[in-house]
Each structure stands twice: as structure tokens, then as C-alpha cells.
């Protein structure tokens, strides 16, 4: 069977070139086509000889992610159904604001964490995405940013379908390709990886001295409440998370951002705010408050403006800097927690 050429590193490509009597320096040209020029067709590698291109075609495939369908929101957000080479589908979103264009991308087909407020959590996890499948989402959304908004992609968030830290190797490899001067050349400071909270993997990020930002989906600073909405907390308690967050900061110098969705009459009271203040003071962190986006069959409601204002006032009066993050793309189910292939899109590649 032919190998997927994008699953090979440069050393392996050199070995192949040597085996067919080609010069090893051609490996750099091939890698540039794959990761810097984002080429998806071996015949397009024009500075390689026809003979070499034919040898590559005989031995390798160059699979690529495609856009099966996209929807554009009233607020200009674009949600994409990405068709993977095996015809599985994941979703990704282009989020435009006045100051930035952000790609929200997926790391798994489905998810295994069953968070109660998230539509993706109702799906089964079928598999991890390969690094190139994550990279391709960025490339395709980058092209959309340029085509629809005549501007460069400015930020990337790993906040789509799946838990990135359960696909650790491929997520970090994709970031390496996206940030490398020999890849897309984006700054790691413009990338945020979001996790539901796997303490040992957060510590591993610290050991690996990553340069990107880390967000933790907190949503309650109380173990009982967090256990109820996020079963992963039963094996990753707030105490364990506190230790790993502080270890991550000690190793990287980067503060973790807590993502906190406010649910009406569940985690939006003053007592909840007090618990969040205490947890923030015990960790090197900052806070994003997120409005809840209802999902089919969900048990929660969006909080009221009055309760949200009181919650924010308590944080502010206790010296906790928190920003309210307004959701975008709600009318096309593209907002935080809504990605679930709701329309069961049939793969149909748009040229």
C-alpha cells in the first residue's frame, strides 16, 4: 500500500530518496511543498523533475482535508464541515471581529468526555486527527479569511471538536508545522489550546516548555458542581488541576486562562463567584466569562443580565480581571459548545 507522504518526517523522505538514487537535498524541497506551500498535489511540485514526481506518485498518496459545506452567520462567522480523507466529518469555524480573524479548529472526530453543556460531548469519539488534518483546517480557514475578508488569519484556537490533550502528540506536531518558519510561520503566542482539564498532560506541557497559550474549561470552582457537568473532574480534581496549572506557569511563564460558562441558577451566584475568586488567587491565571449557548436536550439555561452583572461585580471588587466573551455564530450552531455535525452533512466537496 502507498504511504501517506505527510506522515513521514524529513529523515524518512531522505531515506526514500536515497533508495531511488535521488539527491537528499530534494527532501527540503518536498517538505517545503508540503508544509510551507501547503501543496495537496504531487504533480504541482514544479521544481522537482518529472521522474521524481512520478516516483513519488508511485509510492505515496497526498491526502487532504476538504470543505464539504460551509454556512455563513449573520455576524459573518463561517462554520465549515471538513471532510477527512476517510469521509469522517469535523467542524471548524472562522470567527471575525474588529481586531482579529480567528480559526477555531478540531482535534478529534467526536469526543469522549461527555461534558453536559457541550453538543460535541454527545457524540462518540471515533478517532484522533492526524497532525496534517489539523494543519489542513488552518490552511482552509486561512484561505477563507483572505477570500471573504481580504485579511490574514491572526489567531488559532484549539476549541473545536474533541479534547486536544487526549491527542497530545498530533496536536503538538500540528502546532510545530503551523509555527515553523518552514511551515505557516505563525507565532505560537497567537495559538491557544483549550482543555477540559487533564492535570498530568497540563504538567507535561510545562515539561515540554510549550510557547502557545493554554485555556482551561473550568465552569465551576467547586468539585461537586464540576463533577456534575464535567465527569473528567472525578479523576482530575480542582486540587490536582491547581498543582498542574502552577507547575505549567513555573515552567513556561504563561498564565492559564480559565473559561467559565455561566449557567442560570447553577454556577452564577455570589457563592460561585467567591469560589472562583479563591481558585484564581491560588493559581497563576486570568478569566474569560462566556455566555451559555443552548444545545438540543441540554439541562441548562443562559443566565440573566442581572445575575451576570452581580457575578462580574464580585470578581472585579476582589481584584480578579475577567472579560466577558460574547458568542458568535449562534444562528448557525457555530458558537462555543454547539459543534456537533447537527445537520449530518453529506460530504460534497465544493470546488
Going by pLDDT thresholds of 50, 70 and 90, the confidence category of residue 333 is low
- How is residue 114 written as a grid cell? 461527555
Best CA proximity match to 254, nearest among 197, 309, 300, 216: 216
Three-state SS letters, 148-185: HHCCCCCEEEECCCCCHHHHHHHHHHHHHHHHCCCCCC
pTM recorded for the entire structure: 0.91
Least confident range from 126-140, 167-181, 282-296, 329-343: namely 329-343
CB hemisphere CA count around 311 (13 angstroms): 30
- Which residue did the predictor score with more confidence, 154 or 117? 154
Q: For the segment 13-42, what is each residue's pLDDT rounded down to a tens digit?
A: 999 999 999 999 999 999 999 999 999 999
pLDDT over 70 percentage in the chain: 92
Report strand pairing: 89-96 vs 78-83.
antiparallel
Q: What rounded mean pLDDT belongs to the chain?
A: 92
Q: Is the pLDDT of residue 335 over 80?
A: no
Q: Is the pLDDT of residue 245 over 90?
A: yes
Residues assigned a catalytic role = 91, 336
At 177 the pLDDT is 98
> What domains can you pick out in the chain, each with its CATH number?
3-61 (1.10.150.530), 78-332 (3.20.20.70)
Going by pLDDT thresholds of 50, 70 and 90, the confidence category of residue 345 is very low
At 317 the pLDDT is 97
Q: What is the mean pLDDT of residues 301-323?
A: 95
Q: Which residues contact 173 (CB under 8 A, 6 or more apart)?
A: 131
Separation in Å, CA 288 to CA 230, 273, 320: 18, 13, 11
Amino acid at each position: 500500500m502507498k504511504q501517506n507522504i505527510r506522515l513521514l518526517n524529513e529523515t524518512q523522505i531522505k531515506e526514500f530518496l536515497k533508495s531511488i538514487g535521488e539527491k537528499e537535498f530534494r527532501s527540503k524541497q518536498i517538505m517545503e511543498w508540503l508544509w510551507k506551500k501547503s501543496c495537496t498535489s504531487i504533480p504541482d511540485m514544479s521544481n522537482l523533475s518529472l521522474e521524481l514526481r512520478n516516483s513519488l506518485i508511485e509510492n505515496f498518496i497526498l491526502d487532504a482535508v476538504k470543505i464539504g459545506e460551509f454556512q455563513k452567520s449573520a455576524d459573518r462567522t463561517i462554520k465549515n464541515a471538513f471532510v477527512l480523507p476517510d469521509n469522517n466529518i469535523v467542524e471548524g469555524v472562522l470567527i471575525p471581529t474588529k481586531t482579529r480573524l480567528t480559526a477555531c479548529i478540531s482535534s478529534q472526530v467526536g469526543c469522549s468526555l461527555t461534558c453536559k453543556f457541550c453538543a460535541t460531548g454527545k457524540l462518540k469519539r471515533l478517532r484522533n486527527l492526524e497532525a496534517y488534518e489539523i494543519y489542513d483546517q488552518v490552511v482552509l480557514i486561512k484561505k477563507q479569511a483572505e477570500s471573504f475578508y481580504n485579511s490574514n488569519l491572526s489567531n488559532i484556537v484549539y476549541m473545536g471538536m474533541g479534547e486536544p490533550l487526549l491527542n497530545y502528540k498530533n496536536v503538538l506536531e500540528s502546532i510545530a508545522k503551523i509555527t515553523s518558519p518552514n511551515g505557516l510561520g505563525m507565532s505560537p503566542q497567537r495559538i491557544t489550546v483549550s482543555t477540559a482539564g487533564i492535570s498530568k498532560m497540563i504538567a507535561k506541557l510545562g515539561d515540554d516548555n510549550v510557547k502557545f497559550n493554554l485555556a482551561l474549561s473550568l465552569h465551576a470552582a467547586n468539585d461537586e458542581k464540576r463533577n456534575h457537568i464535567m465527569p473528567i473532574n472525578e479523576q482530575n480534581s480542582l486540587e490536582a488541576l491547581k498543582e498542574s496549572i502552577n507547575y505549567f506557569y513555573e515552567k513556561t511563564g504563561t498564565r492559564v486562562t480559565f473559561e467559565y460558562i455561566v449557567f442560570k441558577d447553577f454556577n452564577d451566584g455570589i457563592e460561585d463567584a467567591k469560589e472562583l475568586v479563591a481558585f484564581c488567587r491560588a493559581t497563576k491565571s486570568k478569566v474569560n466569562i462566556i455566555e451559555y449557548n443552548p444545545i438540543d436536550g441540554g439541562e441548562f439555561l443562559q443566565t440573566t443580565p442581572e445575575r451576570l452583572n452581580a457575578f462580574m461585580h464580585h470578581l472585579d471588587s476582589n481584584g480578579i480581571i475577567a472579560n466577558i466573551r460574547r458568542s458568535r455564530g449562534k444562528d448557525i450552531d457555530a458558537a462555543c459548545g454547539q459543534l456537533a455535525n447537527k445537520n449530518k452533512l453529506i460530504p460534497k466537496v465544493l470546488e
